[in-house]
């Protein structure tokens, strides 16, 4: 690298571009999507409304919402050709691999795949947003040995997703808690998976290739995979009384405790209070006090020992568990929601593109010649 330039590993603290999609303000612990505080969106908006806001920059009026819902509901079915491709994957494969494969197959089959105009991009974004819930539900039920449930065009996005996974729509409180998680997971500026999507878009590759890369990035436990790890830990801990000892042992072994810490938020993740409130409501309604006890004890000890706060994955994990999801579905649920954010960034990157290609500082062997043969 040019002399004197310091290496910023992990691009920590480096501003690489502007964005109008969302703003994360660590100082005030706030997150806004197109200017709206996420706490307000999460408790009063539908998933479809927030998707529209991310894609188009405005909350939809009644007509725009109706048009989006009509187009989304018309594309929910899992096409036989896509299902056939997924059937080829062993049931033991990672659920994020199912999602990643589905995005690739949907891209390969989409006649608009290589069209990069905003209308085509937004139509493809909506198509992925509409089609991936049936993929997740198909995988969730296959792992349980259950037949798929057909999508129901009479149901909203969140209710339909729950109905396809469980064969029924739960009570309104459970639906609201689930919808809160989907809104909170939808977007978060230049997180690793979104940045992966922007890197792929910056080469002028297509939207589906960008989302495939994003799914790959989100799978990792330092990112989206953390919500699954949170639940594995809670199940291992079992009782609130054992949480402190478990945590101290993890820290003593130098292991990271998933669900805690964040690259940008240094005094707590702005989304946690809203997700935690939803978690507590679901726990109260479904007899999940044990998980609340473990949650509170882990948060208390982590703050005491490391001064580190929970991130969104921490309350989201046990909420999904109490709603009846298998742990394997947790990160795919995060991905389904984040499709709206990823694709909003793909459109933005393409609008004012510059190839993303950083520098590196060479530390390998000095120049040398191949020995004479």
Say how many residues make up the chain: 373
Which of 226, 237, 243, 316 is close enough to bind ligand SDX by CB under 6 A? 226
Q: Which is nearer to ligand SDX, 138 or 178 (CB)?
A: 178
Which of 112, 141, 263, 290 is close enough to bind ligand SDX by CB under 6 A? 263
Q: In what order do the strands lie in the sheet with 36-37?
A: 22-25, 30-33, 36-37
Asked if residue 76 lies in contact with residue 131, where contact means CB atoms within 8 angstroms, the answer is yes
Could you give the CA distance from residue 222 to residue 247 in angstroms, rounded to a whole number?
18
Count Cβ atoms below 10 Å from residue 212 Cβ, excluding itself. Answer: 22
Smallest gap from Cβ 219 to ligand SDX, in A, equals 11
Interior/surface letters 95-127, b for 16+ CB within 10 angstroms, e for the rest: bbebbbbbbbbbbeebebbeebeeebbbbbbbb
Interface stretch with ligand SDX, choices 85-93, 157-165, 206-214, 310-318 (CB under 6 A): 310-318
Contact call for residue 259 and ligand SDX (CB under 6 A):
yes
Q: Which is nearer to ligand SDX, 48 or 269 (CB)?
A: 269
Contact call for residue 306 and ligand SDX (CB under 6 A):
yes
Which of 83, 112, 142, 223 is close enough to bind ligand SDX by CB under 6 A? 223
Residue 345: active-site member: no
Interior/surface letters 133-168, b for 16+ CB within 10 angstroms, e for the rest: bbbbbbbbbbeeeeebbebeeebbbbbbbbbbbbee
Q: Which is nearer to ligand SDX, 22 or 69 (CB)?
A: 22
Count Cβ atoms below 10 Å from residue 198 Cβ, excluding itself. Answer: 24
Residues ≥6 apart with Cβ < 8 Å to 40: none
Contact call for residue 232 and ligand SDX (CB under 6 A):
no
Which of 95, 156, 170, 261 is close enough to bind ligand SDX by CB under 6 A? 261
Residue 313: active-site member: yes
Residue 17: active-site member: no
Contact call for residue 228 and ligand SDX (CB under 6 A):
no
Ranges within 60-99 binding ligand SDX (CB under 6 A): none
- 262, 309, 321, 345: the catalytic one is 262
Contact call for residue 151 and ligand SDX (CB under 6 A):
no
Count Cβ atoms below 10 Å from residue 290 Cβ, excluding itself. Answer: 15
Residues ≥6 apart with Cβ < 8 Å to 327: 228, 231, 232, 235, 317, 320, 321
Of all helices (H) and strands (E), which one includes residue 303?
helix 289-306
Contact call for residue 256 and ligand SDX (CB under 6 A):
yes
Contact call for residue 121 and ligand SDX (CB under 6 A):
no
How many of the chain's residues bind ligand SDX (CB under 6 A)? 20
Q: Which is nearer to ligand SDX, 259 or 332 (CB)?
A: 259
Which of 308, 326, 328, 353 is close enough to bind ligand SDX by CB under 6 A? 308
Provide the token pair at 142. Answer: 């296959």
- 56, 94, 223, 232: the catalytic one is 223
Provide the token pair at 177. Answer: 């808690």
Contact call for residue 311 and ligand SDX (CB under 6 A):
yes
- 139, 188, 313, 321: the catalytic one is 313
Residues near ligand SDX (CB under 6 A) are 10, 188, 191, 222-223, 226, 256-264, 306, 308, 311-313
């Amino acid at each position: 690298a040019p002399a004197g330039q310091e290496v910023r590993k992990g691009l920590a603290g480096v501003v690489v571009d502007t964005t109008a999609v969302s703003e994360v303000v660590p100082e005030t612990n706030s997150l806004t999507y197109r200017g709206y505080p996420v706490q307000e969106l999460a408790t009063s908006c539908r998933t479809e409304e927030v998707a529209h806001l991310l894609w188009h920059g405005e909350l939809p009026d009644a007509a725009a919402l109706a048009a989006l819902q009509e187009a989304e509901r018309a594309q929910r079915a899992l096409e036989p050709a896509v299902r056939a491709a997924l059937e080829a994957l062993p049931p033991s494969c990672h659920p994020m691999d199912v999602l990643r494969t589905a995005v690739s197959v949907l891209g390969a089959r989409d006649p608009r795949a290589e069209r990069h105009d905003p209308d085509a991009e937004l139509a493809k974004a909506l198509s992925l947003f509409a089609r991936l819930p049936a993929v997740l539900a198909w995988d969730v039920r296959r792992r349980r040995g259950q037949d798929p449930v057909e999508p129901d065009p009479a149901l909203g996005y969140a209710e339909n997703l729950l109905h396809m996974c469980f064969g029924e729509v739960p009570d309104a409180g459970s639906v609201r808690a689930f919808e809160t998680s989907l809104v909170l997971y939808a977007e978060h500026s230049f997180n690793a998976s979104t940045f992966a999507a922007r890197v792929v878009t910056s080469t002028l590759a297509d939207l589906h290739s960008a989302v495939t890369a994003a799914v790959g990035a989100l799978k990792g436990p330092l990112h989206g995979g953390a919500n699954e790890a949170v639940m594995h830990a809670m199940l291992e801990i079992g009782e609130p009384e054992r949480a402190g000892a478990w945590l101290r042992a993890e820290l003593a072994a130098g292991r990271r405790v998933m669900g805690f810490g964040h690259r940008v938020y240094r005094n707590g993740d702005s989304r946690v209070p809203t997700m935690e409130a939803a978690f507590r409501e679901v726990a109260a309604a479904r007899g999940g006090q044990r998980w609340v006890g473990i949650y509170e004890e882990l948060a208390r000890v982590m703050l005491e020992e490391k001064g580190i706060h929970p991130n969104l994955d921490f309350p989201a994990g046990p909420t999904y568990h109490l709603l009846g999801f298998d742990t394997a579905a947790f990160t795919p649920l995060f991905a389904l929601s984040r499709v709206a954010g990823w694709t909003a960034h793909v459109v933005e990157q393409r609008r004012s593109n510059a190839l993303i290609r950083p520098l590196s500082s060479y530390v390998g062997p000095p120049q040398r010649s191949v020995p004479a043969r």
